Copies of this chain bind each other. A is one copy, B any other.
């Protein structure tokens, strides 16, 4: 990539960013858009603009607000998980900034002033690219200046260790503070029990669970909630809810029609497939009849489910947080495959259908899933290649003759010709996170947050392996697969030789990511358009409108791996082409700013896991660091630097650091430390009935409780 196209690319990205910023500044002040730009504040019952009128408002006030907000504000608006995400952003920003301060002013002039006769020869005509002159590629083989690069590797690693250590400590503090709060959180009084052995005759599961826990915790056991097979009851419940929603909508349509015509037009619909076929009925009467029919059916199904469809899992409640926390980490049964107990996740993030899966089923499922993920990561190009080969234009015409008239138009042919080959890949990449999420849930994981962490891990491996290593080594990998088979170490050398050429590509890649990505994120153009379209054409009731603007969460399963990919790229190039460091730093710095706004005003988290994501992030940052160190070893080797072994302590140090951090900090993220939840002020028993009811799935009638006849 030459200098002009590099600058063109950066400029284009920047212009898009400026346009999106202006759009955001304009659109966000319009009161009609408040639900799109401030949904989190609205849902929390706060005034969108915090007092100041929308007119007089400075369009860049959000920057000041983001900077002036404290960590406590983030936690209160969006929970601990969001605060942990900011710790991640600021830590990585710090690492890249501190590295950049040392590396850019020293390594860049050092590379530029090197006289490299070799390169001049081969590039004789075109001179040496300016960008490449600023990188380590310009250093001579065996040059003494490589010593400075070695020191730079140590500096980057050292900065990373210190920042990560501080961050882990800080996240641990945040987590502890959140868990310590005296406010009653139902999940702190409950544990999840799985692998309940099949009960002896005459006993129901519930009696069995109650007796078991009453024996062990005679004083603090409160109640148990046995997990049931809810498929049937859920189906009826969903149908009923759907009818209620449709009834409401029909009533509004009827009322609206009365405004035009005092008589009104009773809305009607057909009962068949998608309302296209079947008998025509009057909607309001039809739905009222249906609700009347479904309500007793639901009640009967609920009763049947609660008594007859008890499964081998339960949520057990204690009257003390300390007991619940201790129970979550103690072995209750002698065999590890019965009475498996763990801390209960929040009720809203429980994956009910996964709970009754038995220990061995989980182990097998997990291994099968890992194997599938491994295949997906390594060989996903094969089926896509095959599909691409079949979906050429001539093939399409042959297979789908009815498309012929369309395909024969020139304009369509050009567009399809350009995109058809990558169509399978594009669809695959769009569906990949969903597919990985499906796989993670299929492992038998009990909670949403855990499944998201598992997805994020899988996506991380996919993106690092395919984008970074894939782009860098490019097509050469498959050609030289035989070489690698013979000398497996040569993959490091291969990676190292292909690195410098791609530096400017990755710089523009990072810049594109933050300019366009953050611009779109902040301006919310897509959700805004969708909201206005929906409100105009689809929404009838207030609930419909709310559904239309209801924001999602930050989307950790894709967001964190994407950030990690940028971090991996920046770290790996940090010493080779230090110019990437400011771009990386801007990515995370600007990200911090943009997401501070989003977290405070827009996104609504789906769950709260009290920072359980952190050990996962921490480990993957270290994996990136390790990849950087190993790559550098290879690169020094390529430069025929005979002191390359001085780098060897670095990967060892990283592994040691990972081990020490894991030993010292990790356990608190797996289970709750008792000193944290033991709170002398919290002497009073919370309202246990509320705690208990918060765990009952809505389809089982949360109002009444599924087993009031049960033993208390």
Chain A residues proximal to chain B, CB less than 8 Å = 172, 176, 212, 215-219, 322, 325-327, 329-337, 339, 663-668, 671-676, 678-680, 683
Contact = CB atoms under 8 A, between A and B. Distances in A.
7 contacts: A326-B327, A330-B671, A332-B673, A332-B675, A335-B665, A336-B663, A339-B675
Nearest to A683: B218
A29 to B, nearest CB: 45
Given A212-B675, A326-B327, A675-B212, A668 B334 contact: yes
A666 B672 CA distance: 23
Given A215-B680, A219-B219, A322-B217, A675 B330 contact: no
A678 B330 CA distance: 13
A674 B332 contact: yes
B216 A678 contact: yes
A330 B663 contact: no
B334 A176 contact: yes
A324 to B, nearest CB: 11
B329 A216 contact: no
Given A215-B678, A322-B217, A331 B333 contact: no
B675 A335 contact: no
Contact of A331 (B176, B216, B329, B679): B329
A540 to B, nearest CB: 51
State the number of copies, please: 2
Q: Most B CB atoms within 10 A — which of A216, A217, A680?
A: A216
Contacts of A327: 326, 674
Given A326-B326, A326-B327, A327-B326, A673 B333 contact: yes
Given A326-B326, A326-B327, A327-B326, A333 B216 contact: no
Given A331-B671, A333-B673, 19 more contacts: A176-B334, A215-B678, A215-B679, A217-B322, A218-B683, A219-B219, A326-B326, A327-B674, A330-B674, A331-B673, A331-B674, A332-B674, A334-B668, A334-B673, A334-B676, A336-B665, A336-B667, A337-B663, A339-B675
Contact of A675 (B176, B334, B665): B334
A333 B675 contact: yes
Contacts of A673: 331-334
A336 B664 contact: yes
A348 to B, nearest CB: 26
A667 B675 CA distance: 24
A673 B333 CA distance: 5
Q: Most B CB atoms within 10 A — which of A172, A671, A676?
A: A676
A166 to B, nearest CB: 14
Contacts of A683: 218
Contacts of A322: 216-217
A329 B329 contact: yes
A219 B680 CA distance: 12
A511 to B, nearest CB: 40
A282 to B, nearest CB: 61
A322 B221 CA distance: 13
A329 to B, nearest CB: 5
A323 to B, nearest CB: 8
Nearest to A211: B680
Contacts of A339: 675
Nearest to A668: B334
Nearest to A175: B334
A327 to B, nearest CB: 7
B680 A331 contact: no
A326 B330 contact: yes
Contacts of A680: 215, 218
A340 to B, nearest CB: 11
Contacts of A665: 334-336
Given A216-B674, A678-B215, A680-B215, A329 B330 contact: yes
A668 B330 contact: no
Nearest to A323: B326
Contacts of A663: 336-337
Nearest to A328: B330
Q: Which 10 A-B pairs have the closest CB atoms?
A: A216-B678, A334-B668, A326-B330, A326-B326, A334-B673, A332-B674, A331-B673, A329-B330, A215-B678, A216-B674
A244 to B, nearest CB: 46
